[in-house]
Chain A
């Protein structure tokens, strides 16, 4: 409800601005009408894709001097056969295969040998395993489901605070998109013509930062409460042996990320190699079967079409809006406001947090980027930096009660079951750390950009 109130206030501000004639009034008035229609559409449960396309159609009929809907077929075709977008189903497929392979089990055991002896014990392993798995998975849900399924049995009857166990796994899952290869970076790059490689570099640095801060928190918690594993002596022989267990994951990480950075492959090509690699690893573990592949490809088909329909509709709307020069008008207006850029950026970030409490992260991105991206660039913010901020916001939405998908995935795996509020409470400290990282990256864009450049 806070979210809705915030959106309402924002709308009123726009209306007041239009009434007082700040900036080019025409563009703003049209924008307000469109925003109102948009808000009504959204809250009555219209399909996001239909809302976008029909909004485009209305804008076209109402404001455009030439019928742009005649070109919508061509726009849709161009959006459907983009080679960059091919990376989305391929990374999704890779995640689905890995979810069904035995990879995560070895990963968890091997990482536990390295970090499980620290104060905080297995909680560190949760974060580390999620972070490493994120480097082969582009989806937060897949990461939480995969690592959660192997991690939870380890906690069985132990004295670990079960809320923190669930919270750490949810938080770790929320690294899935931020640590490359993330699906949201690909979509961002499609809309903004930014380099996927640079976005991934930015996501990598920030992902490591967030994971490190999570572990610092767990370390402190472990020291204060005395939470640690009973047997902490790990021999170097065990450590070396564990590397063999890590080898398949590291190979896959190289196949996917290494090939991008060495310039051997584009994101789409590395995703294709990743799918083949994931199949090979599943075969090595004896998990490869026709049924397993079939259910992986079917889920991939459904998710891709779900994303694809919205993407096509968003491109159609974008086509009409840019034809009307609305985003440009808004960008000029906002850039001309007597507000410092950081204030505008703060409003944008708050808007995303508000939307994130009730909207799908991916839907938020495609609905807002066409309008907000020109504003962000007009304010001279770095597009790569904004892509990282956006992905962080989407990830934060995944672990913000009461609606984040990742939390429900973990809730569904608990044995014995308990109230969902356990997950909500457990994730709170991590949510705070995520917000702190967001603040850090916003205040010091150099954190992202030194590595990208």
Chain B
């Protein structure tokens, strides 16, 4: 059972990674799209007539497509300053509670997102741009992102419960605990082209973050 859940989780996480990459490149595309529109509107006298709307749709899809990757890389923000001072057992139970509430949020939003689409479709709702795009169209990828995110929260919650039953609170902690400031900092350094130095002799309070 645990293995099956783990395998499914792995599959959803891999899908989430790909979706996050797509989301990232969408931002780059949006930048060129908007940038080109600014220049062409001023100097060439034409515009896409719907840049505001289209970049909004791109953003909506990209936000939800990155959610899954943010969860699997433990980046979603929590206030865990007290949590991280507790023993690992208590921590594991609270991690599971946190996952349970996140699952409620994700499923609620995913469910409501599909109703929004159904509504837009039935009403034949179109946006107010000159292109008059049917709203249901950009709402589908947006809802899809929320749905995949919902799937990962369910699987992670299931796995956390199974791990608790199997008496492995430490594994729950490893799966869910936030990236500490040290871990966050290392990533910024890698990006700047510096090899991170070994962890300090007296690490600061781990777990809490302040991005």
Contact = CB atoms under 8 A, between A and B. Distances in A.
A297 B34 contact: no
B23 interface: yes
B196 interface: yes
Contacts, number: 304
Of A46, A264, A402, A405, the most chain B CB neighbours within 10 A belong to A46
Contacts of A142: 188
A413 B197 contact: yes
Nearest to B32: A276
Interface in B115-157: 115-116, 138-139, 142
Contacts of B200: 411, 417-420
B191 A272 contact: no
Contacts of B185: 405, 408-409, 411-412
A403 B208 contact: yes
A223 B52 CA distance: 54
Contacts of A312: 63, 109
A73 B112 contact: yes
Dominant SS among interface residues on chain A: helix
A452 interface: no
Of A50, A141, A265, A276, the most chain B CB neighbours within 10 A belong to A50
A80 B142 contact: yes
B63 A48 contact: no
Of A86, A273, A359, the most chain B CB neighbours within 10 A belong to A86
Interface in B1-39: 20-21, 23-25, 27-28, 30-35, 37-38
A339 interface: no
A45 interface: yes
Contacts of B205: 402-403
B79 interface: yes
Of B38, B64, B79, B196, the most chain A CB neighbours within 10 A belong to B79
Interface residues of B, number: 87
A301 B24 contact: yes
Interface string A289-315: 000011111111111111011101100
Nearest to B145: A305
B97 interface: yes
Interface string B160-204: 000000000000000000000110111111011110111011111
B210 A86 contact: no
Interface in A74-101: 74, 76-77, 80-83, 85-86, 89-90, 93, 96, 99-100
Interface string A400-432: 001111001101111111111100000000000
Contact of B192 (A100, A268, A297, A360): A100
B197 A414 contact: yes
Contact of A89 (B62, B142, B188, B201): B62
Interface string A42-55: 11111111110110
Contacts of B57: 81
Given A44-B94, A360-B209, A412-B196, A50 B30 contact: no
Interface residues of A, number: 94
Given A305-B20, A309-B67, A403-B181, A272 B32 contact: yes
Given A48-B77, A50-B105, A305-B63, A269 B82 contact: no
Interface in B57-107: 57-60, 62-67, 69-70, 73, 75-84, 91, 94-95, 97-98, 101-102, 104-105
A416 to B, nearest CB: 8
Given A76-B116, A405-B211, 15 more contacts: A48-B79, A50-B102, A53-B105, A73-B115, A80-B64, A99-B192, A145-B192, A293-B28, A302-B73, A308-B63, A360-B210, A363-B79, A412-B182, A419-B201, A421-B202
Among all A-B residue pairs, the 10 with the closest Cβ atoms:
A297-B24, A73-B112, A305-B66, A45-B83, A81-B56, A272-B34, A308-B63, A80-B60, A275-B31, A301-B24
Interface of B: 20-21, 23-25, 27-28, 30-35, 37-38, 42, 52-53, 55-60, 62-67, 69-70, 73, 75-84, 91, 94-95, 97-98, 101-102, 104-105, 108-109, 111-113, 115-116, 138-139, 142, 181-182, 184-189, 191-194, 196-198, 200-205, 208-211
24 contacts: A44-B82, A45-B94, A45-B98, A47-B77, A48-B78, A72-B109, A82-B59, A89-B59, A93-B28, A145-B192, A271-B31, A272-B30, A272-B34, A272-B38, A275-B31, A294-B24, A295-B191, A302-B75, A304-B66, A403-B81, A405-B184, A413-B192, A417-B198, A421-B202
